[in-house]
Structure 1
């Protein structure tokens, strides 16, 4: 098979980019040729002669992601239409190109986020809020257009599958393919607290994510901290540039118990230095970091609004009904901080659950979808040819 994958980046260090990287690896492992229509591609993939990169360059001078993404969609569609005979399966990610795709992975459903009771943006709440509202609304419409026109829509969680059905995507098109995790790398990593400047005598709660958006919900974690014993600290991995949370920690009087590490390159090592993972995201499709924490053997505290909560049972973590419930969050963390036996048992159970979600499993699922799509398209061509032959016979009989 010849596979074309359209995404902004194919690389190790971000969620969607890592998923597409592993899909490409799986396709190469099955002897496929892979065309990557993307702005960035990992050099490790380009070393394989069966990989072709079609670079889509988007000048940073274009203002806002909304416009830059539209330019990417137009440029990628122009190449795909011109070269459509050079691939058997076209795999895209959400709305990313003005073409009809065969397989579309739903990593995020903007319509689902907009319908969430925790959606914070509106047209009358300031310029930034108005832009975010327009961005979400436009993407919700474009995604609906893209999903409805795809042969198969791969939802990264059951939560996303439900949101796709609400958006009008027929259930027959939807297949749940959970994201994967490098179970070996996270299970076998090691690290020391001193290498990250962390205290040995503290109970360390890790939070990892984008600190520029309120959606990830670090604020609730910080507000829960004064209700917890003084030895409970929060370790924050994520760029602090343009983030309001360092100031919020100072305002709450807990700055000495919150350790902002900025961008962390060796996340597996960091996860082996902490005691638990907290992720009460207000909206998530399927969190890679949640899977990574589980693979590292950490008990997790999350919320039902976070994609990935569906795979967590009471043996390996605590799932809150409301991501903004400060008391419930403090109570959950307090249980873990005060009971080492419970913490170790949950961590071991989390590791066992994560073992079911390796990248190889995810890649195999996508390869099976590709094969089904190829068969489906071949059957459609056969039906059209048969229909044309029958019409020609009828016309010929009438002529005679």
Structure 2
């Protein structure tokens, strides 16, 4: 039997997105730990296979569901029983629902070391006020059960503290990290629609990402020779395709579907747009910066710590169609501005290396284990 410390990661949905992209490198590439990854009812099995291939154990908890308070209480009992049976040294929760359920379960099981990572701000204008209130109160309740609260941006920590969630000494910022070289040296994809300026959005096709804002902005765009490319898949795929057709935008807006060659897609494009209503610090912005793209995104959560206005991109308010259209037009008509912002993006991306992120998490784990010896 290995004497390595045992870490249990718990995430709500094991599907594509920032939380999973942040979890995988620390669950599979930190030496000296035995790792188990638990996940809820929504799962993309490619991630299960990847985790198992890299030596991590996996466990599904079907009662952990996206914003489903009815199954939350029995989920806590199920997870607590699993933690108790396996005697984990550290419980590390990720995302809102798993964070609340997992920390309550760890408390029931008597786990000494509990870490929670905030991958994004769940309180947003496009969500029901009652839901926002319920999530906030749940986060307030779970904070005392947490030894270390990891935020992916300083501004997210500040927002949580302003809502009475936890104490300042519990918080530490660990920004996301990626393999920068993978995106800085991409060879341009050759199968994209041809146009003078390629505007790229990479996202899961789901609510809250601002697709309707992008379509509205496209209709207002008074610049010729611009294509809008949307890479990704998800539950809105058919609806979005129908909406593009209904608006008569088929010649301008192109759904690329799921792509496993995003570095090549980015290398062929001229800018990234992300008009989301809720985010953390999106991986796709880090990837775009590493690829040397200017970025147009909403001024929310940790995005201002990625995009410096008038340095490497343009920030707009969520839902502001005119501002998005104007920003796209401004960059589309100025190759010089795109080049200047793109060079600044490459420089800024250096703050977001994967090695730095892994080292930071290793330090958190080591400090917790040392303090409880």
Under TM normalisation by the shorter chain, which class is it? 0.7 to 0.9
State TM-score, norm by structure 1. Answer: 0.78
- Looking at structure 2, the residues matched to 45 and 329 of structure 1 have their Cα atoms a distance apart, in angstroms, of 38
Deviation of 1:58 after TM superposition, in Å, equals 2.2
The SS at the match of 1:192 is: coil
Deviation of 1:45 after TM superposition, in Å, equals 4.3
Unaligned runs of 5+ in 2: 108-112
**What per-residue deviation string (whole Å, max 9, x for no partner) do you get for residues 323-367 of structure 1?**
222222222111211111211121121112112201111111111
The answer on 1:345 being equivalent to 2:340 is: yes
Of 78, 81, 84 in structure 2, the residue corresponding to residue 78 of structure 1 is 81
**What per-residue deviation string (whole Å, max 9, x for no partner) do you get for residues 152-179 of structure 1?**
1001112321222023211110111111
Is the CA contact 1:159–1:285 (under 8 Å) kept in the aligned structure 2?
Answer: no
Q: Identify if the C-alpha distance between structure 1 residues 294 and 74 changes in structure 2 by more than 3 Å, giving closer, same or farther.
A: farther
Deviation of 1:293 after TM superposition, in Å, equals 1.1
The answer on 1:282 being equivalent to 2:277 is: yes
- Looking at structure 2, the residues matched to 12 and 186 of structure 1 have their Cα atoms a distance apart, in angstroms, of 22
Of 108, 113, 121 in structure 1, the residue corresponding to residue 120 of structure 2 is 108
The SS at the match of 1:302 is: strand
User: 2:357 maps to which residue?
Assistant: 362
Is the CA contact 2:152–2:174 (under 8 Å) kept in the aligned structure 1?
Answer: yes
Deviation of 1:298 after TM superposition, in Å, equals 0.8
- Looking at structure 2, the residues matched to 65 and 16 of structure 1 have their Cα atoms a distance apart, in angstroms, of 19
The answer on 1:191 being equivalent to 2:188 is: yes
Q: Identify if the C-alpha distance between structure 1 residues 274 and 245 changes in structure 2 by more than 3 Å, giving closer, same or farther.
A: same
Equivalenced residue count is 350
- Looking at structure 2, the residues matched to 152 and 254 of structure 1 have their Cα atoms a distance apart, in angstroms, of 48
The SS at the match of 2:342 is: helix
Q: Identify if the C-alpha distance between structure 1 residues 44 and 326 changes in structure 2 by more than 3 Å, giving closer, same or farther.
A: closer
Q: Identify if the C-alpha distance between structure 1 residues 312 and 59 changes in structure 2 by more than 3 Å, giving closer, same or farther.
A: closer
Deviation of 1:52 after TM superposition, in Å, equals 4.8
Of 126, 135, 159 in structure 2, the residue corresponding to residue 119 of structure 1 is 126
Deviation of 1:260 after TM superposition, in Å, equals 0.8
**What RMSD, in angstroms, separates the aligned Cα atoms of the two structures?**
2.8
User: 1:390 maps to which residue?
Assistant: none
Task: Please tell me whether Structure 1 or Structure 2 has the larger radius of gyration of its CA atoms.
Answer: 1
Is the CA contact 1:316–1:346 (under 8 Å) kept in the aligned structure 2?
Answer: yes
Write 1 or 2 for the structure with the bigger share of helix: 1
Deviation of 1:32 after TM superposition, in Å, equals 2.9
State TM-score, norm by structure 2. Answer: 0.84
Of 22, 25, 39 in structure 1, the residue corresponding to residue 25 of structure 2 is 22
**What per-residue deviation string (whole Å, max 9, x for no partner) do you get for residues 193-226 of structure 1?**
3x24x11x3311111223230x211211211113
The SS at the match of 2:106 is: coil
**What per-residue deviation string (whole Å, max 9, x for no partner) do you get for residues 277-332 of structure 1?**
00121221221111111111111001211532223222211112x12222222221
User: 2:213 maps to which residue?
Assistant: 220
Is the CA contact 1:6–1:36 (under 8 Å) kept in the aligned structure 2?
Answer: yes
- Looking at structure 1, the residues matched to 218 and 73 of structure 2 have their Cα atoms a distance apart, in angstroms, of 42
